[in-house]
Chain A
Amino acid sequence: MLSQWGFVLILSAIAVIIPVAAITLGHFLGPRRPDPVKNETYESGVETIGDTWVQFRAQYYLIGLIFLIFDVEVIFLFPIAVAYQNLSFFSVIAAVTFVVILILGLFLEWRKGALEWS
């Protein structure tokens, strides 16, 4: 069983080598004529003003937080799905309650306006 992960390990090594090799090859095959204007940040022809790395809209972070809540709960759900057919009555009640809490949480976020995007 563990040797199955050996394949994943080797595949991940190859998956890293392929793009690195392609980019390195392109780096050496392409011409190299840097000049200060070319290396400037692109902004439709005008010079950029101010810093790019500014404080950004908070809505994106809110979406990130909601995603985190749901994703962690999904990780809990998958083992339940695998064992579901052999679960006893009370475990099924627990699993169903878990999903119900998930749905209630979604509606709470909805009511609080966390899902609005205006």
Chain B
Amino acid sequence: MNWSDALIQLQYDLGAPQELSWLVEGVTYFIGAFVIANAALVLALLLIWITRKVISRIQDRIGPNRLGPYGLFQTVADAMKLLSKEDIKPKSADTLSYFIAPILSVVGVLMALAVIPFGAGLIGADLNVGVLYLVALGSIGIMAALMAGWGSNNKYALLAGFRVVAQLLSYEIPMVLAMFAPVLLVGTMRMQELSQAQSLYLGPINLGLGWFVFLLPGAFLIYFIAALAESEQTPFDLLEAESELIAGFHIEYSGMKFAMFFLAQFLNSFFLGAIAVALFLGGWQGPFAGQVPLLGPIYFFAKTFFIYIVIQWIKGTFPRVRIDQMMQFAWKVLVPLVLTLILAQMIIMKLPLPMWLNYVLVLAANIAVVLAVLNIMGDYFKREQVRTKRAFAPKSLIGTMQPVSSSSGD
């Protein structure tokens, strides 16, 4: 049962006239959209709280713990504070793009809510171009960043704006191509059908464990790395490299306008996790989700919060990469690998072999991609370790003291 059908039926039962069906439908969609958008705003407060708690635990601190139970109302207080801040507009800013940018960044994120399947029948609109719709929305965020960077008329903001556009454009390609793999497997772009396809039947019982991550681990890994970059999280948070750019493209924004960028960023990383769950981690599927419908949304949110906490974990432990390394990783590692993966999957799927052998071959290609990515990342970390050790070797003491025997590094 779809949520909108149930709501429409309820209105007819309450005595709505049949000839006003367009109005009934409109009211239904309005209620759905209103509830879901406002729930997302409340969710953002929770997400910020989770981020601060997780990061402070990693850094051996306690984090917010004064306001409310476990400091839950700290973010509410912060939002109130931002609401009461002065709304400053720099006098040389470009008015139109300066004001549209924060609105656009929120719009691009909130619209993604329409196609996220929270449970069986719990999807805003099961569009037949669902995945393509998400791809299209990704570009709105890029537009907002560019408009903010350009419109602020600030040199730091412009630099950060260009950087973030280059970063988001580069990682959009591997992300979209990784989303292509499950679409190719199922043959549909509907998010609900993609979730539905990830079921595993043991006799008549749906175990709900046929997640695509078990079949396409390579595509999932590439999607996850690209999603980290798309949500502007560490190690790809170059746009807010404090030591270089101070704050990023939103440096000239204060009060509520700044809060909008903040909100968009947190919601974006949650939604990218939600899309990963819907496409690769079985969506709302899980043991007994078919029998007990209430378990569906619980599974979905449990998985999504798990992904979100993993993202925060990465944020707390990884150093930031350099821009040239970041661009090279996107174009010379991820894009060729994901293109080869898609090509391999396309050829394997049409081979005249038994079904299970096809799946084994797809899995083998994916494992090869996972190994390649991990190998390249491992090499990078080893090289960086040696480089930082060399950088901290006391070379500056040469001339003032006895030359240091170079036993460091390598």
Contact = CB atoms under 8 A, between A and B. Distances in A.
Contact of A71 (B173, B187, B331): B173
A11 interface: yes
Interface majority SS (helix, strand, loop, mixed), chain B:
helix
B131 interface: yes
B32 A7 contact: yes
B255 A8 contact: no
A1 B343 CA distance: 33
Interface string B147-169: 00010111110100010011001
Contacts of B162: 56-57, 60
A67 B172 contact: yes
Question: Max chain A CB contacts within 10 Å: which of B25, B29, B252?
Answer: B29
B259 interface: yes
A40 B252 CA distance: 10
B33 A14 contact: yes
Nearest to B323: A117
Contacts of B184: 81, 84
Contact of A42 (B34, B37, B87, B90): B90
Given A30-B86, A43-B154, A115 B332 contact: yes
Interface residues of A, number: 70
Interface residues of B, number: 87
Contacts of A118: 324
Contact of A92 (B135, B153, B342, B346): B346
Contacts of B332: 110, 115
B226 interface: no
Contacts of A56: 158, 162
B80 to A, nearest CB: 10
Interface in A1-50: 1, 3-8, 10-12, 14-16, 18-20, 22-23, 25-27, 29-34, 36, 38-44, 48
Given A82-B183, A82-B188, A39 B110 contact: no
Contact of A74 (B29, B177, B327, B328): B177
A46 to B, nearest CB: 11
A25 B259 CA distance: 13
A23 B111 contact: no
Interface in B242-269: 246, 251-252, 255-257, 259-260
A39 B88 contact: yes
Interface stretch (B59-67, B100-108, B304-312): B100-108
Interface of A: 1, 3-8, 10-12, 14-16, 18-20, 22-23, 25-27, 29-34, 36, 38-44, 48, 52-53, 56-57, 59-60, 63-64, 66-67, 70-71, 74-75, 77-78, 81-85, 92, 95-96, 99-100, 102-103, 106-107, 110, 115, 117-118
10 contacts: A10-B33, A31-B86, A39-B91, A41-B93, A41-B152, A41-B153, A59-B166, A75-B132, A84-B349, A106-B331
